């Protein structure tokens, strides 16, 4: 076993004990990244990685990120390094500043290894729409299964033990869904907890910076590094950053967990249900009260259309800057409209253009009332319902998906209850901006299954506490696709 296979905490110990150096880790991470064949990367950061790693000589005992290699989703701006959003329209774009989350990791002397692939401009949940084609699930050597998106490359990076930490972004479930398909801990904290400065906007009212780790403890440690007020993002919270690990060793006495019955009713896969039930036993054993609660099924059915309407509306405006004049490849035309039209036609994939059209349509004067504003009302209702549950419960706990990672050929658009509700419910955590964490709870056919803990706003420490109790019971810590193969 290599030191690179360790979690952040264990790797940190090895670094402090000087059993391994940041440079050795960085070199091996780069090798593994390049050897990986899951189509997970947009660019390898050899130059930065090696020069930063080489400069790290004396271990910093109290800094768990010192010398830790990490991967960055390619929709975070990286200074002097191309950032494509996995879209042709930004193919050669080189930002002149670092996203705040990236800057904070660099300040902590973590070592950037690569920029990872995503669904084009973070739109999509499959990991197949990036400009370089589909990203594969490393747990499936036959490359038949998706890893989910949009943070597909970041999920691969951590699941394949290329790095113990990767930045992602989560607008609907783009960190938490792939985390479930890849046996990872995927975390998005409260909206405003981590600055979004430098994250390419998809739908700002729903966008969150998130990340992948291979243990709950790593996830708790990481948040303190990248959270905090940022003057460049006025929506970032002024609350002080906490020690998010402080409750990890505390049992769950007095903790109340809610399971939404109407969502469970749409899940039919027995392995998923069994693993989930076992994790509930674990929660109860740790002292938590776990109850079934109700959530109007019709309202649950609106989550997906509400998400699509709001996110598409916001995204059409957010990407209006990519017009082939300021950004993107130049396509000539007789008028500025033609230049923009040609650039945007060639630069965006069909899927993206479809979303722009949906968003534009929803925002049109004559449609706003029945589409965009109605979606806002739905969002408000869903959030109110969720927050009502959280008045009496510390967390909502649910499977992160109704199945293991689907095969590419099985992917479909049918609006079944399972698809509408079980497959897309995580977005209500984005509507409400609540802290939400996915962690592994089982396997089927060698493919991981995940569950999700969602807590009250700014109660991240409690979310980690609950997740830790589950991890303690399952023992699913530091899972790696390198060892588990079908």
Q: Give catalytic residue positions.
A: 73, 150, 174
Examine residue 3 and tell whether it contacts another protein (CB under 8 A). no
Residue nearer to another protein on the CB measure, 203 or 280: 203
Residue nearer to another protein on the CB measure, 340 or 427: 340
In 3D space, the residue among 146, 68, 74 whose CA is nearest the CA of residue 107 turns out to be 68
* Contact flags string 229-268 toward another protein, x per CB under 8 A: --xxxxx---------------------------------
Given a contact cutoff of 8 angstroms between Cβ atoms, the answer to whether 212 and 150 are in contact is no
Q: From the list 61, 281, 320, 486, which residue makes contact with another protein (rule: CB under 8 A)?
A: 320
Kindly indicate which of the ranges 2-10, 241-249, 308-316, 350-358 contains the residues binding another protein, using the contact rule CB under 8 A: 308-316
Examine residue 203 and tell whether it contacts another protein (CB under 8 A). yes
User: At its nearest, how many Å lie between another protein and the CB of residue 179?
Assistant: 23
Examine residue 455 and tell whether it contacts another protein (CB under 8 A). no
Residue nearer to another protein on the CB measure, 209 or 258: 209
Q: From the list 59, 64, 95, 455, which residue makes contact with another protein (rule: CB under 8 A)?
A: 95
Measured from the Cβ of residue 326, the count of other Cβ atoms closer than 10 Å reads 7
Examine residue 356 and tell whether it contacts another protein (CB under 8 A). no
Residue nearer to another protein on the CB measure, 280 or 322: 322
Q: 103 to 132, contacts with another protein by CB under 8 A?
A: none
Examine residue 430 and tell whether it contacts another protein (CB under 8 A). no
Examine residue 345 and tell whether it contacts another protein (CB under 8 A). no
User: At its nearest, how many Å lie between another protein and the CB of residue 355?
Assistant: 15
State residue 168 phi and psi, 5-degree precision: -135, 180
Examine residue 17 and tell whether it contacts another protein (CB under 8 A). no
The structure tokens listed for 237 are: 């919270």
Examine residue 364 and tell whether it contacts another protein (CB under 8 A). yes
Q: Are strands 447-455 and 395-399 parallel, antiparallel or unpaired?
A: antiparallel
Examine residue 323 and tell whether it contacts another protein (CB under 8 A). yes
Tell me which residues touch another protein (CB under 8 A): 76-77, 83, 85, 90, 93, 95-97, 99, 196-201, 203-205, 231-235, 313-314, 316-317, 319-323, 325-327, 336-337, 340, 360, 363-365, 368, 372
């Amino acid at each position: 076993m290599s030191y690179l296979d360790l979690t952040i905490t264990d790797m940190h110990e090895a670094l402090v004990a000087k059993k391994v150096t940041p440079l050795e880790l960085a070199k091996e991470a780069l090798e593994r990244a390049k050897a990986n064949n899951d189509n997970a990367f947009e660019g390898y950061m050899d130059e930065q990685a090696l020069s930063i790693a080489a400069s790290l000589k004396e271990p910093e005992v109290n800094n768990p990120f010192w010398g830790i290699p990490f991967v960055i989703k390619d929709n975070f701006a990286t200074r002097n390094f191309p950032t494509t959003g996995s879209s042709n329209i930004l193919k050669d774009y080189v930002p002149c500043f670092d996203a705040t989350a990236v800057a904070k990791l660099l300040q902590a002397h973590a070592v950037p290894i690569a920029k990872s692939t995503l669904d084009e401009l973070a739109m999509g949940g499959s990991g197949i729409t990036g400009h370089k084609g589909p990203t594969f699930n490393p747990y499936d050597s036959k490359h038949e299964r998706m890893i989910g998106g949009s943070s597909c490359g970041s999920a691969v990076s951590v699941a394949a033990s290329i790095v113990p930490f990767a930045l992602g972004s989560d607008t609907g479930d783009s960190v938490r869904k792939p985390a479930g398909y890849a046996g990872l801990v995927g975390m998005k904290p409260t909206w405003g907890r981590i600055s979004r400065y430098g994250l390419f906007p998809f739908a700002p009212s729903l966008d969150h910076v998130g990340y992948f780790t291979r243990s709950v403890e790593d996830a708790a440690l990481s948040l303190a590094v990248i959270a905090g007020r940022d003057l460049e993002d006025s929506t970032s919270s002024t609350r002080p950053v906490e020690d998010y690990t402080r409750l990890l060793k505390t049992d769950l006495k007095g903790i109340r967990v809610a399971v939404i019955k109407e969502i469970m009713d749409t899940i039919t896969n027995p392995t998923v249900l069994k693993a989930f039930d076992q994790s509930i036993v674990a929660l109860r054993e740790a002292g938590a009260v776990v109850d079934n609660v109700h959530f109007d099924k019709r309202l649950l059915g609106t989550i997906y259309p509400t998400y699509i309407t709001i996110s598409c509306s916001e995204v059409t405006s957010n990407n209006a800057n990519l017009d082939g004049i300021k950004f993107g490849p130049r396509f000539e035309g007789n008028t500025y409209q033609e230049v923009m039209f040609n650039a945007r036609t060639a630069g965006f994939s069909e899927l993206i253009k479809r979303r722009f059209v949906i968003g534009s349509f929803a925002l049109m004067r004559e449609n706003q009332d029945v589409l965009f504003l109605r979606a806002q009302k739905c969002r408000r209702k869903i959030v109110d319902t969720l927050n009502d549950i959280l008045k009496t419960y510390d967390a909502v706990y649910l499977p992160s998906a109704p199945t293991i990672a689907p095969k590419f050929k099985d992917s479909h658009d049918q609006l079944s209850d399972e698809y509408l509700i079980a497959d897309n419910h995580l977005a209500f955590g984005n509507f409400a901006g609540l802290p939400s964490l996915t962690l592994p709870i089982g396997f089927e056919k060698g493919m991981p299954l995940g569950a999700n803990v969602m807590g009250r706003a700014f109660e991240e420490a409690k979310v980690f506490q609950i997740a830790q109790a589950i991890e303690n019971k399952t023992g699913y810590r530091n899972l790696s696709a390198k060892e588990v193969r079908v």
